[in-house]
Structure 1
Amino acid sequence: MHRGLKPLLAVAGVALATGCAAPSEPQVTFYSHGRSVEVAPAQHCDPTGEKCTASPGAVGELRVPAGRPLQISVPGEVAETPWQVVFLYRGANGEELDGRSPVFAPNERHAYTLQLPPDGKQLEHVEVQQFSAVLTPGTDGGVDFGIGGSWVLDAKEQ
């Protein structure tokens, strides 16, 4: 069962409200069908989640043909922390669905290939999320990690 993107984006909003400019902004590269795009972060915070920058317009666009994979490459600054990929896609019946990769442990990997689940027809939206050290109370008990960085891609069929 997949959790939707909205709760994660709400957690990201909390982190955005806490600070000012971060010293550097790593780029994430998305690649599909012979083309690539480097995307600046829509949000980027220091490891404590206190100094954040927001660039809501930092959304990449890339053609991802139906049924084709999307390759994602993250820089060392992202790979050395827990991170994951969340995505929206259209199912065979046109229904909007969501999914997510596993959470990758620090230094586990620098790249991920996103292949839609069997019920998927067209990838629409992808977000690479870098977790921060900021903890918030979870809605189901426990704690949730804040999103310290996010890189957004709109996937186009044509």
Structure 2
Amino acid sequence: MNRLTRWLLVIVVVLASAGAGVAAWALTRGTESTFPEISAYSHGKAVRIGPYVYCNVVNLNDCQNPQTQGQLSVTERYPVQLSVPTAIGRAPWQLLRVYEDERNSTTTMYRPNTELAVTIPTVDPQRGRLTGVVVQLVTLVQDQNGELRDAPHAEWSVRLAWP
């Protein structure tokens, strides 16, 4: 693949990511709730959570910080069922699973229009107890060195409470 083809491919990926982020932002404007909410469910209990931080996808310095954090009681017997609304699922988003030893945390990236719900075991045999989950809407940005990287422009957080 020659250099021009690679640059054209990079430009297409950046524009597609920005377009998906703008579409997610546009879909959430003017709804009853100012921001989309995620939901988490385990063993008969459910919580709906607004964003911890929500930035304008075009200007990542234009952010609102409601600092909402949900809490869900869990046990090792029942998984967490996480749901995101279509406004999030239509854009690239990622799920962070935070374990007792944060060095064992994992991240899963979801492409647009692929997942609206995820079932997450509360205990991983290698990582231990799950202590939280974080949903992030991501977009591609170019850093000072000209490198492309994912950057979150919105984040939802659920802390898991163990008995």
Which residue of 108, 116, 127 corresponds with 1:102? 108
1:124 is matched with 131
State the alpha-carbon separation in 1 of the partners of residues 150 and 110 from structure 2. 14
SS at match of 2:110: coil
1:44 is matched with 54
RMSD, aligned CA = 2.4
State the alpha-carbon separation in 2 of the partners of residues 112 and 83 from structure 1. 12
For structure 2, the residue ranges without an aligned partner over 5 or more in a row are 1-27
SS at match of 1:126: strand
Which residue of 50, 75, 86 corresponds with 1:65? 75
The structural deviation recorded for 1:121 is 3.1
SS at match of 2:75: coil
CA shift in 2, pair 1:147/1:49, >3 Å: farther
Q: Contact 1:84/1:100 (CA < 8 Å) preserved in 2?
A: no
The structural deviation recorded for 1:138 is 8.7
Matches within 5 A, 1:70-149: 70-90=80-100, 95-115=101-121, 116-133=123-140, 135-137=141-143, 142-149=147-154
TM-score by length of 1: 0.71
Structure of greater Rg: 2
Q: Contact 1:41/1:151 (CA < 8 Å) preserved in 2?
A: yes
CA shift in 2, pair 1:97/1:33, >3 Å: farther
Q: Contact 1:87/1:127 (CA < 8 Å) preserved in 2?
A: yes
State the alpha-carbon separation in 1 of the partners of residues 102 and 57 from structure 2. 33
Q: Contact 1:67/1:121 (CA < 8 Å) preserved in 2?
A: no
For structure 1, the residue ranges without an aligned partner over 5 or more in a row are 1-21
Output one character per residue of 1:12-66: Cα deviation in whole Å (capped at 9) or x when no partner.
Answer: xxxxxxxxxx95300000111111100010011233244421112x110101112
Percent of pairs identical after alignment? 25
Q: Contact 2:104/2:127 (CA < 8 Å) preserved in 1?
A: no
Runs of 4+ in 1 over 6 A off after TM superposition: none
SS at match of 2:157: strand
Alignment pair present for 1:34 and 2:40: no
TM-score by length of 2: 0.69
State the alpha-carbon separation in 2 of the partners of residues 86 and 96 from structure 1. 11
Matched residues, number: 130
